[in-house]
Amino acid sequence: MQLVEPRPRRPIPIRMTPLIDVVFILLVFFMLTSRLLPVGFLELGNATPERQSVTGQSIPEVTVTGTGEVLWRAQPRSIEELMTEMTANGISEVNLSTRPDTGLGDFTRILSRLDSAGIDTHWKRLHTQTP
């Protein structure tokens, strides 16, 4: 004896409206929670201190040009010469500035060499002057 009558065999229609609502909610969720910055860039805190060292002398500035040259005291130097002079002079802190056309590879190469030598580095990006 059957207490419930069986359902007739007919296809159940799939309602699209709830599926579309769920897709839009997921789209909005992922748009709000994802990062919009390119992942390939190196994020750096641009906190160059406008101060002087404890001895009263200004912190030396090293500039990386767009061609990958290193300028110190307004003269181009190789990275080996720069490291030799800095260690000989006992410099433990520098301001590393880059020009707008400096490549990321050149910047990270110089930054890693200074960091491996134990030199505290503050980064500053130079902006071009518009006439």
| CA 118 to chain centroid | 21
- Asked if residue 14 belongs to a domain, the reply is no
79-131 pLDDT, tens per residue? Answer: 888 888 888 888 888 888 888 888 888 888 888 888 888 888 887 766 655 44
pTM of this prediction? Answer: 0.52
**C-alpha–C-alpha distance, residues 69 and 117, integer Å:** 19
- Asked if residue 47 belongs to a domain, the reply is no
- Asked if residue 51 belongs to a domain, the reply is no
Domain that holds residue 116: 78-131
DSSP letter string, 65-106: -TTS-EEETTEEE-HHHHHHHHHHHT--EEEEEE-TT--HHH
Q: Tell me the helix, strand and coil percentages in the chain, rounded to 5.
A: 30, 15, 50
Per-residue pLDDT at 8 exceeds 90:
no
- Quote the number of domains for the chain: 1
